[in-house]
Each structure stands twice: as C-alpha cells, then as structure tokens.
Structure 1
Amino acid sequence: MSTHRPAGHPPPDAPPAVPTTRDWVVLALLCIAQFMLVLDVTAANIALPSIGRDLGLDTGALTWVITAYAVAFGGLMLLGGRLADVLGRRRLLVSGLAVFTISSALCGLAPDGGLLIAGRAVQGVGAALISPAALASVSALFTGAARTRALGVWAGIGASGFAVGLMASGLLASGPGWRWIFLVNVPIGLALIPLLWRMLPASRGIGGRIDVVGGVLATVFAAALVVALGGLGAGDDAEGLAAGWSTALGLGVAFLALVLFVMQERRHPAPLMPLGVLRQRPVVTGLALMLLASAAMLSMFFLASMYLQQVVGLDPFQAGLAFLPSAIATVISAHLASRALARFSVRLVAAVAFAITAAGGLVLTQLDGSSTLWYPLIAGLVLVSFGLGPAFLTATASSLARVDVHEAGLASGIVNTGHEIGGAFGVAAVASVIGAASAPLLDAGAFGRGFGALAIAALAAAVVSLIFIAPGRIDSSALPEGPLH
C-alpha cells in the first residue's frame, strides 16, 4: 500500500520540513473525522437498552447494532487503504465522509431494527474508506519531528474517543434520545466534506488493479462467522433448532468465503493481502492477540452497559459516567506499557496485561444483581481496562517488531483489521454464551457467564503471548505511532 524509496530521495510532492498553520488545521479536521468513527463504536453500546425498548429488539438483535458496524469497518479496511493509494487520498476521504454522513442520518431516522442495522453496516463501509485515507493524509502532510507530533495527536483520538464517547452518548441518550447519537454526525460530516475538499492537498492516485472481490470475501467471511457464533448458545426448543441451522449455515458460508478468498489472493496481480505475510509468526501472533483484546473490550462494553441500565437501573448518562474510571485506567496503563516495553520483553508485558484483564473478568463474575457499584462492578471494569491498554499496544508491537520494513504497512493494516473484527466476534460470542438470543432482559447469572467467557479469552491470550511471542526486547522504533483504527 506504499512504495519504498531509497533514503535521501523524497518524492517530488514531499511536504515541507516546517508545517504551516494550514497543515495543522487540516490535521484538526482529520482528527474530527476519525473521532466520529471512534465515538460510534462506544456510543452505540451505551444506547443499546434504549434502542431495544424503542424498536422492540431482543438481545440477539441488539448485538447486530454493534457487529454490523465492526464487521463492515474491519472487513473492508484493507480495501479502503488500497483504494486510497489507487484513487487518491482526498477523493476517497471525502467519498467516505459522504457515505458515513448519509448512513448516520439513516440510523438516526430508522423506524425499525432492520433499517438501523443496515445503516450501521453502511456506516462501517464509510468508516473503512475514511480511516486509512485520513491516516495516510496525516503521514503525507508532515515529516520528521512534526510527523511524530502529528501522529501523537492522532493516536490520542482513540483514548479521548473512548472516554468522551461514553459520556456524550449517555448525555444524548438521556436527553434528546438515542437517535441523536447518530444524527449528531450529520452536521459534522456536512461541514467536513467541503472543508477537507478545499484544504486537503489533492493526491494523485498511483493507479493499478483493485482487489474488490478480496475485500468483499473478507467481509462475508467475518459476517458469516458472527452469524455462526450468535447461534451457538441457543437451547433445545424450536428456536434452538433454527439457531443451530443458522450456525451451520454461517460456518458453511464462512468456510466457502475463506477458500474463495485464498484462491482470489493467490491469482490476483495486486492482492489485498499477500498470503506470504500470514506465514510470518509475528504477524499471526499480533493478529491473534488483537482479535482477543478487541473481543474482550467490546464484549465488556456490551455486557456492562446492559447490566448498568437493566439491573442496576442507571440512566444512559449515569452509565457513561460509571465507565469513566475505566477510560482513565486504559490511558494510564497504555502509557505505562510503552515505558515497560523499553525494559522488559513484549512477551512478558503482553502476558501480564492479559492476566490483569482475566483477573478483572473473574471479579465481574461475582455480580449478583445488587445495586452496589464499587465492588465488584467498577473494580472489575477498571482491572479489565487497565489490562487492555497495554494488551492493544503489545499486540501491535509484537507484529511489527520483527517484520521487514517494506511489509510493515501491510502487517499493521492486517492487525488493525483484527481490531475491528475482533470486537464483532467478541459481542457475538458473549451473546451466545449468555444464551440470550431472544431475551429482552438478562438476569445476573447471564452477565456472570458472559464475564466468565471474557476472563477465559484473556487467559487464552496470556498463554498465546507466552508461547508464540518471540523472546527479547524490541527497539523503541518498532512501537506504533498511530492509532488502532
């Protein structure tokens, strides 16, 4: 997705060493665009109980409000990066913003669950076009120390979106209603489209073939697995039998899509994902860790937001505030992990991080339906979040530390794809574990089972870290500078 040039020979359109005020304004606009994408991941979680009541959606259907966005976003992210290279960054970024804005309006005005889920899927398509083009634009605008500063600002968007998204969505859902979580994107998108078209320098696409079929097959594979996971926890009645058929069908479609994807990537002249990269242990390990970390994060949001509102009885804004200590814990632990990686091996830091996450999940299994907030609820959420901060960092660092320079961009794209798709898998798996495909309300025991599954997944990630991450420390230059979106 990028070309390799000898040192000392910058491209003809290389940015100046000292960025202008206009460049920093463009960075701010790009960060606002990225912020919308990050916010829409956490925002929808807080609004799920309200959405379920208003649209008559059971717990199983509500999972698709989250997974439809994540599957489309993650499944098409590599294709979005390729399109940005071939067609030009500005053209793709503005097109993605148009898709995201229109689909946000569709979500906010949706009269039923089907249209809301469809709108969320289209939102994910827009996000997959925006995010790679926006990050590539940041890298193209700045050089040297200025680029490091710019990427640091960009990376902070993920952490701030985590915290602000929770509170803003809670405030909107408690005030004008959950629909405004999506409708608020419309005026922002309408303002960003002309501003970025006018201020962002045009980039000439490199041309070449585009592996659209590969991107579609990757997305079908992820969506089919989500369907399969969602039906695993059904009972033995007629509904359980239907869920069993959906699981079998989902697994069959996923297997077929995977076979076709491999065939497509082998024969396409410009494959979306050169299969040789997946034979490299660091990339596969990093992808596995990212899938598990993202699954733990989004399943925690899903379960905890439902518990806080359905069992404890908090309104959406209060539920968002209850997550604030978790957001702070994530930021602090990620900072500490970046320093720890300079002294200890990635293997050790990753194993400890996932062990802390597992401990938090075990604490959360003690929930008994009481209204007590501090223990085990807040304590467990803080522990999970404190572990997930370094878990995400080590997943990326382990995948990039020993990969050839000319494959680093592709490896990063693969792992970042796992970030989005892993969340969809986690929510679907948790919904299956709690056995709530048609339950509008969940009991305390269901939440305990869900958090227990989170703890098991985190323990599995700790074992994967100890066995498969190569020993030794990494050079600080291998640490990711950008976000995981």
Structure 2
Amino acid sequence: MALAQFMVTLDMTIVNVALPDMGAGLDFDPAQLPWVVNIYALLFGGFLLLGGRAADMFGQRRILLSGATVFAVASLVGGLAQEPWQLVVARAVQGVGAAVMAPAALAVLTLTQREGKERTKALGVYAAVSAVGGGAGVLIGGLLTEYAGWRWVMLVNLPMVLGVVVLAMRSIPAGTFGNKRGRLDVVGAILATAGIGLLILGVVRTEQLAWTSGTTVVTLAAAAILLVAFGLWEQFGPMPDPLIRLSLLGRRSVGGANLYMALLVAGQFGVFYFLSLYLQRTLGLGAAEAGLAFLPLCLIVVLGIRLATRLLPVVGVKMLLIPAAVLAAAGFGWFGLVDASGSYVTDVLGPSLVAGLGIGTSFVPLTAAATGGLPPQEAGMASALLNSSRQIGGAIGLAVLVTVQTARTDSRLDAGAGQQVAAADGYALGFLLAGGFLLVALLVAIFVLPGQVRGGRQATQSPPSTTSVQPNVTADTR
C-alpha cells in the first residue's frame, strides 16, 4: 500500500522538471503544455470520492488492482506518445487510475491494522511516502530527464505497478471489507466528480485566465452549484449508501484534520513549485542538480514522520499538530527571504530543514485523526475525503500563490527591476503567503481539533475490540 501511495503522489510532480523536454520532443503549443500537469490533478481530484466508495462496496483489493492496471496502461501509452494529445490523454487516464488506487490503499491500512501502536506505525509509513512523494518526484524526474530522457518519467511507473500488483495479490485478502450488496450512488458520483473537477479546472486555469474573467467566474460558479447539489443529494436523497456521509465532516477530528491537510498541502505545493523555479532559473542549477537539492528536505520529512510515529500515542494529535504548524510556517517564511543574489546554503538548506520537520510531523496525526474510529464500511469514504482535501487544497493553494507571485513579478518589472530580481521577489512573496496558510492551519489545530484524539481514536471512547477488524479478514481469507 505504501508503494501504491508513493506512486500516485510521485506522479503529481515527476513531470514538472521534464516539461521543457516534453514540449520540445512532441512539439507542444506552449499554452497547452501545463495541461500535462493539470489534467492529472483534475481527474485525480474529481474521481477520488467515487473511487473511495467503490472500494468500500466492491472490495479494496479488487478496486486497487483495477486502478493499478489502468495506471500502468496509461503510463505505457504516455511513454510511447508521438503526439501532444496522446500524452495529455495518458495523463488524464493516469489521474483516474490514481483516484481509484489511493483511497483503496489507505482503506486497506486502516482496516487491517488494529488501532493503537500497530496502526500508528502503518500510518507512519503511509504518511512518509505521501509527504516525500512530491519532493521525490522532482528529484527522480530531474535525474530521469537528464540521463534517460523524458519518456522514462512515464515508463518508470511500470515496474512500480508490477510491484504493487504482486504484493497486493500476496498480502491483501481476496474479498471485500465493505457492503457488497449495496448500490453505487451514481447521481452523487456524477455531481461530486463534476463539481470537484470544475473547481480544480477553474482554479488551475487561472495561470492563463484572470480570476475575474468570465470563463473563470462561470466555471467556479458551476462548480459551486454542483457541489451544493451534491451536498443536498447526499443529505436528503433516497440512496441508502451515499457516496459520503456528510455527518462525517461534523466530527471535529475528521473535519479539522481535512481542513488542516488542505491548508498544509496548499502551502507545500506552492513551496515545491517556487523552490524548483528558484533553483533552476535564479541559482542556475540543472534539472538533476535541482532534484538533488530537494534531498535534504525529503530526508528531514522522513525524520519528522518517525518522530511523530513515536510521539502520537503519548501526546495525541493536537499537541503534535500545533508545533508542526509553527515549524512549517517558520520554514516557509524563511524561504521568503530569498533574493536574486542568494545561494543554496544560505537561502535553501536552512529553511528546507525547518519546513521539512514541520511537514513530516503533520502527516501521521492528520491521517490518524481523519480515518480513526470509523466503521469498516466507511474506511474508503474517509480515505477518499482526506485525499480529496489534499488534491483540492493543493490545486487551489498553488493557483492562488502563482497568481500573487506573477503579479508581484510583473509589478517589479514595471518598476524597472531586472528579470532575475523581479522573479526572486515574486518567489519570496509566494513563500511568505504559503507560510500564512500554515498559520491558519495552526488556528485549526488550536480551536477545531479535539484535544483527546490519540493514535487515531477518541480517548473518551471505549477501546475497539480487536475482533472489529479480524472477522472480515478471516472471512475474506476463507
């Protein structure tokens, strides 16, 4: 399950460094090239709730393997693409496969590991690959692009998919943990997929269209209408098995964890984006060197996750997330001191270590709070909700930060500043605003999250029986 999650997270950023080579190799129109990145985020975010509910109803292993197969075929087609549209379509299908795999993988972990120390360790591994995947994508993408060619940015998924399939066949029970007799909420699926998809579409297109443009306003308004309709359908519709139980968000631990996750990833995506540009365009590093520059950040994230895994059963979710938000905000703010005459050691390494520790310390308690203490038939639902928060938060946060960064750069150019100085000033403002997202997350941790959540369950609740998981595993094994 860790390998599956690493793969879908990796593919959110692995193509970023390869975009110039992809554009040159397939003769992309420059205005269409960003869709190689955006279409993956669009389809991934749009289909997550549907993928999560399908995993609950038809079996996590079956849905996981189906998603992995789709992902592998799309990766092969993308790696062999001869025309721009073929690569864009392949990335779109990859997004659908990722949306099917991701919630199924997390649901398997929460259902097969008993609450407490066992689940905390499993979630620590899951959180590590989730947090590191984005940075590793930049690193691996840079190395592959420079030394093997951009096509291997797509083809590298094939051995990983093979590993996921082999390990899943060996280690996951063949049946279902959910309610196989239920009916999929088709109306809810259409409303949610269309609403989330239009929301992400409207946001990511603000790189080319202004927030106040007619196209953007209409797209976001349509997304809002569809999402409101989805909420009303889920609350009052006739379906006995809704796509998502809205009362789930009413739990302070679940609602708070999803909001914190959206804010954290909004800042993290922006920082990774601006940092990759600063390293290459301002400091003059090559693709491989820029990827390697992310290595200390990835390593310190893993260290933070190990620390959180040990401390979560002792101090609980709230007391981990408060200092984590402070550290991440401080690290992002420190990045905001970059300038055109900076260096890697003075402007990048120090804030990478501080921010990475805050990011790493956040993921385990967030995952535990968002998925703990729920009935087995809603594990995929909660997992999809958390992944949706990650995708929507990342898309909206990056779009907002890029808009602000571009406006700052343009204003500095209009004032007579040089290109390098103006660009660095834009990145600096983007970093500072990313830190602002984490200050809001700090308020969520203080005022929204309950103080008694430890290791994924409420301390005030009676501990769950160990048989609450085991009967499903035993029946599926037979």
Partner AA of 2:282 in structure 1: V
The match for 1:277 is 248
Alignment partners' CA distance in 1, 2:329 and 2:130: 23
Partner AA of 1:449 in structure 2: L
**TM-score normalised according to structure 2 size:** 0.79
Question: 1:68 maps to what in 2?
Answer: 39
| 1:282-297 alignment, distance < 5 Å | 282-297=253-268
**Following TM superposition, by how much is the alpha carbon of 1:293 offset from its aligned partner in structure 2, in angstroms?**
1.0
> 176-185 or 213-222, which moves further after superposition?
213-222
> Would the aligned equivalents of 1:66 and 1:424 in 2 still touch at CA under 8 Å?
no
Query: For 1:44, what is the secondary structure of its paired residue?
Result: coil
Tell me if 1:202 matches 2:139.
no
Aligned to 1:11: none
Q: CA deviation at 1:110?
A: 4.1
Q: Which residue of 1 aligns with 2:425?
A: 445
**Cα drift, residue 271 of structure 1:** 0.6
Structure 2 residue aligned with 1:3: none
Residue in 2 aligned with 1:226?
A: 200
What letter matches 2:400 in structure 1? A
RMSD of aligned residue pairs (Cα, Å): 3.7
Deviation at 1:430, TM superposition (A): 2.2
- Cα displacement string for residues 402-454 of structure 1 (whole angstroms, at most 9, x for unaligned residues): x6656873444422321233222222222222238x99998222212221221
Tell me which of 453, 457, 465 is aligned to 1:474. Answer: 453
Q: Distance in 2 between matches of 1:461 and 1:152?
A: 21
Percent identical among aligned pairs is 35
Shift, 1:179, TM fit: 2.3
Is the contact made by 2:52 and 2:103 (CA closer than 8 Å) also made in structure 1? Answer: yes
Paired residues of 1:67 and 1:427 also in contact (CA < 8 A) = no
Which residue of structure 2 lines up, in the alignment, with residue 249 of structure 1?
Answer: 218
TM-score if structure 1 supplies the norm length?
A: 0.78
Aligned residue for 1:422, secondary structure, equals helix
Partner of 1:92: 63
TM-aligned CA deviation for residue 313 of structure 1: 1.8
- Residue 261, structure 1, aligned to residue 230, structure 2: yes
Aligned partner letter, 1:66? V
Separation in structure 1 between the aligned mates of residue 145 and residue 335 of structure 2, nearest angstrom? 25
Judge conservation of contact 2:255–2:370 (CA < 8 Å) in 1.
yes
Deviation at 1:375, TM superposition (A): 1.9
**CA distance in 1: counterparts of 2:56 and 2:323, whole angstroms:** 38
**Aligned twin of 1:124:** 95
Aligned-partner Cα distance in 2 for 1:354–1:141: 30
- 1:231–1:432 CA contact under 8 A, matched in 2: no
- Within 5 Å, give how 1:353-372 maps onto structure 2: 353-370=324-341, 372=343
**Alpha-carbon distance between aligned partners in 1 of 2:317 and 2:108, rounded to the nearest angstrom:** 30
Per-residue CA distance 1:286-342 (angstroms, 9 max, x = gap):
111011111122222222112212222212211111001101111112222344445
Deviation larger for 317-326 or 119-128? 119-128
Q: Tell me how far 1:182 sits from its aligned partner.
A: 0.6
Distance in 1, matches of 2:99 and 2:225, equals 24
Match of 2:188 among 193, 202, 214: 214
What corresponds to 2:469 in structure 1?
A: none
Q: How many aligned positions are there?
A: 442
Q: Look up the equivalent residue of 2:457 and give its one-letter code.
A: A
Q: 1:35 to 1:340 in 2, by over 3 A?
A: closer
Asked if the contact 2:103–2:383 (Cα under 8 Å) also holds between the matched residues in 1, the reply is no
Q: Which of 297, 301, 312 pairs up with 1:330?
A: 301
Distance of 1:93 and 1:424 partners within structure 2: 24
Equivalence for 1:417: 388
For residues 42-65 of structure 1, what are the alpha-carbon distances to aligned partners after superposition, in whole Å with 9 as ceiling and x for unaligned?
Answer: 32233345445655565x856544
Which deviates more, 41-50 or 323-332? 41-50
Give the match for residue 25 of structure 1: none
Q: CA deviation at 1:36?
A: 2.3
1:456-471 aligned at under 5 Å gives the runs: 456-470=436-450
Provide the rounded CA distance (Å) in 1 between the counterparts of 2:205 and 2:453: 41
* Structure 1 residues 101 and 404: alpha-carbon distance in aligned structure 2, compared to 1, 3 A threshold: closer
Shift, 1:99, TM fit: 1.2
Q: Could you say which residue in structure 2 is the equivalent of 1:82?
A: 53
1:126 is displaced (CA, Å) by 0.4
What is the identity, as a one-letter code, of the residue corresponding to 1:212?
V
Instruction: Describe the SS at the equivalent of 2:446.
Output: helix
Sort the Cα spacing of 1:384 and 1:160 in 2 relative to 1 into closer, same or farther, 3 A: closer
2:466 paired residue number: none
- Cα distance, 1:217 vs. partner? 2.6
- Following superposition of structure 1 onto structure 2, how do residues 154-165 of structure 1 map, counting pairs within 5 Å? 156-158=128-130, 161=133, 164-165=136-137
Q: CA deviation at 1:146?
A: 8.2
How far does residue 245 in structure 1 lie from its aligned partner after superposition?
Answer: 1.4
Q: Which runs of 5+ in 1 are unaligned?
A: 1-29, 480-485
Instruction: Report deviation, 1:125.
Output: 0.7
Q: Are the equivalent residues in 2 in contact too, given 1:296–1:457 (CA < 8 A)?
A: yes
What is the identity, as a one-letter code, of the residue corresponding to 1:476? G
Letter in 1 for 2:156: V
Asked if the contact 1:342–1:473 (Cα under 8 Å) also holds between the matched residues in 2, the reply is no
Identify the range of structure 1 (281-290 vs 215-224) with the bigger mean alpha-carbon deviation.
215-224
Change in Cα spacing, 1:150 to 1:360, as seen in structure 2 (3 Å) is closer
Uncovered stretches (5+) of structure 2, i.e. residues with no partner: 411-418, 459-478
1-side partners of 2:353 and 2:335: how far apart? Answer: 10
User: Cα–Cα, structure 1 residues 327 and 175, in superposed 2: closer, same or farther, change >3 Å?
Assistant: same
